[in-house]
A = this chain, B = another copy of it.
Amino acid sequence: MTGETDRREAAEHLALTLVGAGMQRMGARALAAFLFSEKETLTAGDLAQELGVSAGSVSGAVRMVAQMGLIERIHVAGSRREHFRMRDNAWTTLYSRQHSVVDEVLRAVENGVGAVGPGRAHDRLEYMRDFYTFLLNEAPMLVERFERQRRGEPRS
């Protein structure tokens, strides 16, 4: 049970779901490959083989996922290959300001607040701005709370 086929299927399913969530196809597949791999690191060649795609596709996918902050490049001395691995804090970083898509949205909203005069639109945009600002500010604490809970007391 839980054979190689199941593993592949589950990986593809997660990738598809991530695509539905707005991620680009190849990036999602690459990310799933990392998640479902038993290895600590993967090379571009590994990914190409695992996903059955060209080196060019891998290059693009890896760049994107790296830019999201989910994986990082690892230079291995004495090897020409470049290794990649999921960052330890991949999921938490996703909610920090730097790599965040949310931050771009926030800036666009702030721009909107400045572009409209007083009225309903202004109020709506301010509310949206405040909410997303709050989220970005709270994220680090939330993350810390998660980490602590996961190590410390398993319950509550």
Task: Determine how many copies of this chain the complex contains.
Answer: 2
Q: Pick the interface stretch among A48-56, A74-82, A124-132.
A: A124-132
User: Which of the residues B14, B18, B92, B112 comes within 8 Å of A36, measured between beta carbons?
Assistant: B112
* Inter-chain contact A39/B142, CB cutoff 8 Å: no
Query: Interface extent on A, as a size class?
Result: 35 or more
B17 touches A105 (CB 8 A): yes
Give residues 1-31 of A contacting B (CB, 8 Å).
2, 6-7, 9-11, 13-14, 16-18, 20-23
The 8 Å CB contact of A13, one of B38, B91, B111, B124, is: B111
- Across the interface, A109 reaches (CB within 8 A) one of B14, B104, B128, namely B14
A120 located at the interface, meaning its Cβ lies under 8 Å from any Cβ of chain B in the complex: yes
Contact partner of A38 among B108, B114, B119, CB < 8 A? B119
Q: How far is the CA of A13 from the CA of B23 in the complex (A)?
A: 20
Tell me whether A35 and B146 are in contact (CB under 8 A).
no
